[in-house]
Structure 1
Amino acid sequence: MTNDRRVLVHPDNTALFGSVAARFITKTVDLLDDLGTANIVLTGGRAGTGVMSAINESSARDSVDWSRVHFWWGDERFVPAGHEDRNDVGARAALLDHIPVPAENIHPFPASDEVADLDEAVAVYTAELAKFAMDGNEVPRFDITFLGVGPDGHIASLFPDRPEVAVKDVPVVAVRDAPKPPPLRLSLTRPVLNGSDRIWLVLSGADKAAALGLGMAGASFHEVPVAGIKGRKRTVFFVDQDAAAEVPESLISPSY
């Protein structure tokens, strides 16, 4: 299985989010033609929500047969359902509430008022992943996984120098005392993320430049988690000019 790791630079957020949205729609149509269904892993934050809004605003949005697309999340904040901190709340407002995707195709992590505790939430989401897995796998075939990157290099809720970033034997991990609020979180583990066919990382802002530079330079994934992320087929960093400030010119692709 070949793997390309590319950095694509855009002049500003509008161009960045619009470009990712256009590529997502085109690729999803292709996936549905080839595979019949598509499994997409979403992220939160400024970039994740920006891309989903751009997908919703695209004139090509309705070219996708959303009834055959399943949505998952790479991580979630363990707070009550409907809380503004939850990634699924932002995703619904930006995109999911505006497209004809069946409710059963949306797979959010459990909320804190839906289960007894964080450990039960891990068990519930692990079971949900297994229910849609094939060929004896623990998780579904993830076709496109969106990830944001924090200024510290964290991805999903896998933070630097924390034990969760090294977990390999389970698909979902509980995060307690996270270094950024809220302290309780749920996250897919690094092997599950890296099992995705395509990982699309979307970064904007000068505060992401150092993390991106270290990640591309081969830093330890324990210290800079994004350095340990690589999709099975392709890994693309979609960035704006500010975030690309510390990426060597030789690593920047002129086209996709």
Structure 2
Amino acid sequence: MREARSLTRQAEDFFSAHPGVSLLALGSGEHAEAMDLSPLGLPATYLPAERNTDLVSQYLALNQFAFRGIGVPRWVLSDLYLMPGAIGLLRCPARMLKPDVRQHLGLADEDPAIGAAYYAAPSVTPGLFIGVSLLSFLPGTGAGAWVKLLTLSMLRAKRLRGVAQWDNPSVRVHTRLGPLRLVGRVPGGHEYGERTFVYESDLTDSTRVARAMARELSWVPTRTIAVTDLPELSSLLDRAEAGASVYLGPPGVQNGQVQLSEG
């Protein structure tokens, strides 16, 4: 089995393939020194949210555009995103965005724009972050996976817990970082509770993450379940909550079937 390209080499290739894209972090100014602004050896720029209100407003507009009724309110963005943490951003010329997004923001082709963004919240458990919001408006580039990985690298995250829906295309992005260990249901419930689950990603094995990002991670499911089989998927979460080791592997869902390994 050949060695996967290092994460640094893969990231360099991503930016080389998409000239004009740059990596930023947006958060409270006091967090700048706590961030790794050379994630995977690549340069990142920290922008204090207090002095970059136009960029904050653009992120807010994009989040609400993407998530509609459950988009982040302004006070949540300030109090629970920017004050305790930082949002990772890929900035690009507006011409690279989807046309409907560019029109929604009212931007000219060469105006700077947010092409992709990821926010993971700090938790009380050291090294563990909680995935909150992933946005990508650069189709066909892999930007969603890269902004997620680079943001987590800037945060020095060791583990990630996130929320996803079985039938959501974002599952494919999440498994780009490696197999997802199923944790169970969302604490407190969720708007889409019957098709939603909590997963955990282990970020400590850089070789495995590199293989996953290169789509070269060997994964043979021991079981598949249709995304529409909600009773069986609910039973699967019962087992995960009871302590069973259940993993969802790359590409997450294929031909409508959740790709699983148990035991």
Q: TM-score range by the shorter chain?
A: 0.3 to 0.5
- What is the TM-score with the length of structure 1 in the denominator? 0.33
Question: Max radius of gyration: which structure?
Answer: 2
- What is the TM-score with the length of structure 2 in the denominator? 0.32
